[in-house]
Amino acid sequence: LDFPKNISVIAVCPKGMGPSVRRLYVQGKEINGAGINSSFAVHQDVDGRATDVALGWSVALGSPFTFATTLEQEYKSDIFGERGILLGAVHGIVEALFRRYTENGMSEEKAYKNTVECITGIMSKTISTKGMLSVYNSLTEEEKKEFNAAYSASYYPCMDILYECYEDVACGSEIRSVVLAGRRFYEKEGLPAFPMGKIDQTRMWKVGERVRAARPEGDLGPLHPFTAGVYVALMMAQIEVLRKKGHSYSEIINESVIESVDSLNPFMHARGVSFMVDNCSTTARLGSRKWAPR
């Protein structure tokens, strides 16, 4: 894409969905440091002021931290990340784990707590404040064995799908599929319309409504070692794909860890998967629906 040569071209990209960007911006009136981190890119600078303008936008958004990237690295990591651990992949693994646990005799309520509540509650809080290793260190010796088994079984299958997804994004195939899906929202060529369907109508998410209704205030849920192993494996696989593809560590951690545990998972914890996914862009919503079943 060629831009006119007489204009500066910059990007400032908050690392969270619109509602959370606004909510934390407002919180900044009372809480120093509240806000959503942003990335910024200067693609073209015609007057020497582009970087200052970009950083000014980020400050105006209330971002406590701003890290540099490029337009290309930003769109690749952003579109890939929302199909990965930020939205699509976390949706996929909680559905799969819920099915695994219930098929092995666990009650539906307990299975929901050991999947969604575990990831969006205690794990997100621990990773946000103490890091991933603290999740592992908080387990008993027996639980660590279960974590290790789940991690080892999940890491390469997660990487396999994430690697494919990244390359589809990088070559443009993924965005083309989004454009084509958008056209199918409407009747054409004698075929019916196929708008986006609802993603929270399965048994699991109906169970989740009951669990949340009965949840004591402040309850972060249990730390289930198998779920923890799968989720950390997913997170590490995404980190490694982005690292091998040349992204900066600040971008990697924001797209794989911080945005997940601080911005997005709390929405699923509050009201379920649709509240998280469908508060995002159409591109993100379509991508999550496409890749979650994988």
Q: What is the pLDDT of residue 33?
A: 75
Q: What is the pLDDT of residue 31?
A: 84
pLDDT tens digits, one per residue of 125-149: 999 999 999 999 999 999 999 999 9
Question: What are the residue boundaries of the structural domains of the chain, listed by start?
Answer: 9-68, 79-291
Binding residues for Mg(2+): 78, 82, 255, 259
Residue 30: pLDDT band (50, 70, 90) is confident
Supply the angle between the helices 225-244 and 141-170 in degrees, to the nearest 10.
40
In degrees rounded to 5, what are phi and psi of residue 10? Answer: -135, 165
Cα–Cα dist 266/147, whole Å: 23
Residue 118: pLDDT band (50, 70, 90) is very high
**Terminal alpha carbon distance of the chain:** 32
Q: What is the pLDDT of residue 21?
A: 87
Residue 32 has pLDDT above 90, yes or no: no
Q: What is the pLDDT of residue 19?
A: 84
Comparison of pLDDT for 22 and 203, the residue scoring more:
203
The Cα-based distances of 221 to 43, 148, 212, 244, 255 in angstroms read: 44, 21, 11, 34, 24
pLDDT tens digits, one per residue of 220-254: 999 999 999 999 999 999 999 999 999 999 999 99
Binding residues for substrate: 281
Residue 35: pLDDT band (50, 70, 90) is confident
Q: What is the pLDDT of residue 189?
A: 93
Residue 28 has pLDDT above 90, yes or no: no
Task: Name which of 235, 234, 230 is nearest 146 in CA terms.
Answer: 230
Supply the angle between the helices 203-214 and 88-103 in degrees, to the nearest 10.
90
Which of 74, 76, 78, 168 is an active site residue?
78
Residue 8: pLDDT band (50, 70, 90) is very high
Cα–Cα dist 173/182, whole Å: 14
Q: What is the pLDDT of residue 199?
A: 96
Residue 76 annotated among the catalytic residues of the structure: no
The CATH topology of domain 79-291 is N-(1-d-carboxylethyl)-l-norvaline Dehydrogenase; domain 2 (1.10.1040)
Binding residues: 78, 82, 255, 259, 281
Which of 74, 76, 82, 262 is an active site residue?
82
Comparison of pLDDT for 265 and 19, the residue scoring more:
265
Query: Comparing 14-28, 43-57, 267-281, which segment has the lowest mean pLDDT?
Result: 14-28
Residue 142 annotated among the catalytic residues of the structure: no
pLDDT tens digits, one per residue of 146-192: 999 999 999 999 999 999 999 999 999 999 999 999 999 999 999 99
pLDDT tens digits, one per residue of 272-291: 999 999 999 999 999 999 99
Residue 15 annotated among the catalytic residues of the structure: yes
In this prediction the pTM is: 0.94
| Tokens encoding 265 | 């998972």
| Tokens encoding 134 | 């603290």
